[in-house]
Amino acid sequence: MSANRKKRKWLWIVTLLIGLPALYIASFGPASWASLRTGTGGRLVGTIYHPIFWLALEKNIARGPILWYMGAGKPSGSRAVLDWSDGKFAILRDPP
């Protein structure tokens, strides 16, 4: 394998190792907004993004920014509520 091919291979590996987690975190907001606007999929979003919710609520790491990003695209006049009643996260839309 030539040195140039090895460099390209490592470039892809590094790009994926940085890019995929960044995309996961960035997609959390739009997924939350879609769930809040449609009123469906709240449990699914809570399951897929469980690590983010866990960091925000259980470990209190970046709670403010995470909850702000979750609610940034919510329908006007409503608020986003995280349900943790049965040990699983769910995003619910709480009408005014």
Domains of the chain: which residue ranges? 3-94
Q: Which tokens sit at 80?
A: 């986003």
Please list the rounded mean pLDDT of every run of 10 residues in the chain (96 residues): 80 92 94 86 89 86 87 82 76 68
Please report the pLDDT score of residue 57 as a whole number.
Answer: 83
Length reported for the chain: 96
Please report the pLDDT score of residue 84 as a whole number.
Answer: 77
Helix (H) or strand (E) holding 52: helix 50-57
Please report the pLDDT score of residue 76 as a whole number.
Answer: 81
| CA–CA separation, 64 and 56 (whole Å) | 8
Please report the pLDDT score of residue 95 as a whole number.
Answer: 61
